């Protein structure tokens, strides 16, 4: 069972990354847009992995943070949630997911492609008693509005991700100028913008 990888990025897209570790064997790993935004500019990367094995296929799913992998494992335990859908849910960011479950905000979960009203309700029901939900303290963003200073490539990727989710470019640009100064990571920015745009 492959659980962790460290190596050189040979190829990367918003949905997958090809990594060559020191062993010389390349691994293609499924990722989401949020992970892409974190590692796209790196030459070398470390990822936590979930190795899915079935009778018909094998697949690797990659995560920058160990906590992301833990939430992914909880999501795929839910009937009807496969690896690809779980990755899509995680693209919202862990804090956003926790807030949505704590507030029983079905509309926030429904915005994920492939998630309908009944599945959103099921996800909230299944997750609300999990330890990572009950013990999380998710802060409210500060009201100061200073646009964060991120590399242009990451900003463009965030804009592309939001456009693909159906948000209008002019609305995206408007919210980009209103990002609180304490929100400075790609995960937090994407979560904040989705909340403001919804």
Contact 121, 106 (CB under 8 A): yes
pTM above 0.85, yes or no: no
Same domain, 38 and 87: no
Q: Domain containing 192: what range?
A: 152-197
Which of 18 and 147 is assigned the larger pLDDT?
A: 18
Q: Is residue 141 one of the residues assigned to a domain?
A: no
Same domain, 71 and 127: yes
Q: Is residue 147 one of the residues assigned to a domain?
A: no
Q: Is residue 143 one of the residues assigned to a domain?
A: no
Q: Within 10 Å of residue 36's Cβ, how many Cβ atoms? A: 21
Q: Is residue 72 one of the residues assigned to a domain?
A: yes
Which of 168 and 4 is assigned the larger pLDDT?
A: 4
CATH number for 85: 1.10.150.20
Q: Is residue 193 one of the residues assigned to a domain?
A: yes
Question: pLDDT tens digit string along 19-78?
Answer: 999 888 999 999 998 898 889 889 999 999 999 998 888 999 999 999 999 999 999 999
Same domain, 19 and 57: yes
pLDDT at 146: 35
Same domain, 71 and 126: yes
Same domain, 29 and 73: no
Q: Is residue 95 one of the residues assigned to a domain?
A: yes
Contact 29, 37 (CB under 8 A): no
pLDDT at 28: 97
Reported as a pLDDT band with limits 50, 70 and 90, residue 148 is very low
Reported as a pLDDT band with limits 50, 70 and 90, residue 145 is very low
CATH number for 41: 2.40.50.140
Same domain, 130 and 114: yes
Same domain, 44 and 70: no
Same domain, 39 and 99: no
Q: Which residue has the tokens 């990755």?
A: 87
Same domain, 14 and 51: yes
Q: Is residue 142 one of the residues assigned to a domain?
A: no
Average pLDDT of the residues of the chain: 84
Same domain, 128 and 170: no
Q: Is residue 144 one of the residues assigned to a domain?
A: no
Q: How many domains does the chain have?
A: 3
> How confident is the model over 169-183, as a mean pLDDT?
77
Same domain, 52 and 78: no
Residue 58 CA, chain-centre distance (Å), reads 21
**For residue 144, is pLDDT > 60?**
no
């Amino acid at each position: 069972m492959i659980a962790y990888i460290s190596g050189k990025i040979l190829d990367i897209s918003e949905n997958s990354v090809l990594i060559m570790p020191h062993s010389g064997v390349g691994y293609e790993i499924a990722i989401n847009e949020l992970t892409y935004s974190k590692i796209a500019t790196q030459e070398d990367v470390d990822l936590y992995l979930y190795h899915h094995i079935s009778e018909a296929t094998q697949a690797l799913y990659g995560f920058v943070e160990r906590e992301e992998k833990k939430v992914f494992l909880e999501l795929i335990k839910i009937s009807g949630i496969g690896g690809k859908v779980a990755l899509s849910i995680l693209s919202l960011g862990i804090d956003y997911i926790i807030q949505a479950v704590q507030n029983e905000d079905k509309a926030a979960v429904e915005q994920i492609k492939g998630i309908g009203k009944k599945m959103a309700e099921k996800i909230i029901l299944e997750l609300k008693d999990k330890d990572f939900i009950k013990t999380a303290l998710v802060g409210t963003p500060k009201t100061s509005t200073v646009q964060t200073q991120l590399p242009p490539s990451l900003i463009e990727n965030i804009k592309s991700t939001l456009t693909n989710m159906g948000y209008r470019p002019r609305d995206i640009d408007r919210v980009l100028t209103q990002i609180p100064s304490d929100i400075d990571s790609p995960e937090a920015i994407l979560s904040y913008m989705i909340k403001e745009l919804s």
